[in-house]
Amino acid sequence: MLPLALALLAGAAQADLLQDPQWQAWLDAGRTAELSRAAQAQMKARPDDDQAAVALALVAVDDNDAARLEAAIAPLQACADKRPQAACSYALGRIYGQQAMSASVFKMPGLASKTKDQFVKAVQLDPQLYEARSALAQFYLIAPGFAGGSEAKARELASEVQSRQPEQARLLRFLVAAQAKDWAGAERELQAVKPGDDRTLQRELRNGWMRLGAEFIEQKSLPQARGVFERVQREHPQHAAGPYGLARVALDGHQPDEALRLLERCRSLEGADRYPLDYRAGQALQAKGDKAAARAALERVLQNKRSSPRVVEDAKKRLAELA
């Protein structure tokens, strides 16, 4: 259970932690090369720049680069020790969580403990920072009890902000309901969220709908899934999330040509790099019987550091079938 818990945390929505709007836009879109260059230049000019340290840490997590993950710890620790900031503790938690995913069974518990401790510290430093509170809630919900998991603590995190940040509380209750597989309750919480102009809440709400739509696909409830993804597409027309979800519906509905059309549309939209487009394209091309194109797409999946272990495993299986 512990590796799964940390894997899910690694995929958590990125925070609005970067004060430079361009940096945050690059992070949201998955354009880590641009963000890395800008942060490295700033770090070179000012070695103790905390925003650059946070940016480089989140890029390392995004790219799953072991060497850069390790290199990111020292400047973040300096920030946490000398200039305590929620952003630095949150980023440290993300680093430790990512490292734990590939750690040995002996090192994993210690890294999991460090992950939780940094998220706790981030919430203490800034109780209003939703990203830290959400990450801690997900840790409590997914980690086993021996590693510090506790549904009661996750619910407490939601109740603490009910009076001053009710929309955040609803999103946190969504996480609790989803983990309990109370999908009707989860949908009610999402329906009630009013994000307004808050970009963080907009992202978290979009991610919540995407999670619910994916669950409907797992349940083979394709009309419900389609309704969810159409909603995402209406509310976020410039984002790849909606078309990506609809492509998944088309795949499960045995419409590979429609899936490929939607996936191609995704590539020009915001956030496209955050979705396994080549993996889904490989599935669609394999279904069409286009073996050469399917192999090319699936081989790109293996070269992509962001590909999840589950996606990589299935891509390898499909490549073997296409050999």
Placement of tokens 């997590």 in the chain: 61
Question: Under a CB-based contact definition with an 8 Å cutoff, are residues 280 and 251 in contact?
Answer: yes
pLDDT in tens, 145-168: 888 899 999 999 999 999 999 999
- CATH code at 201-262: 1.25.40
Token pair 């929620």 in the structure block, residue: 86
* Per-domain residue ranges of the chain: 1-147, 156-194, 201-262, 276-323
Q: Which two tokens stand for residue 244?
A: 């990506």
201-262 and 1-147 share a CATH fold = yes
Topology annotation, domain 1-147: 1.25.40
In this structure, the chain runs to a length of 323
Residues 6+ apart with CB under 8 A from 229: 209, 210, 213, 241, 242, 245, 246, 248, 249
Residue 221 confidence (pLDDT) above 70: yes
* Amino acid letter, residue 313: E
Q: Residue 24 — very low, low, confident or very high, per pLDDT cuts 50/70/90?
A: confident
Per residue in 182-220, pLDDT (tens digit) is 999 999 999 999 999 888 899 999 999 999 999 999 999
| Chain segment 120-146, per-residue pLDDT in tens | 999 999 998 998 999 999 999 998 888
What is the tens place of the pLDDT at every residue in 2-14? 544 444 444 444 4
Residue 64 CB burial class (10 angstroms; 0-12, 13-18, ≥19): middle
Q: What is the pTM of this model?
A: 0.88
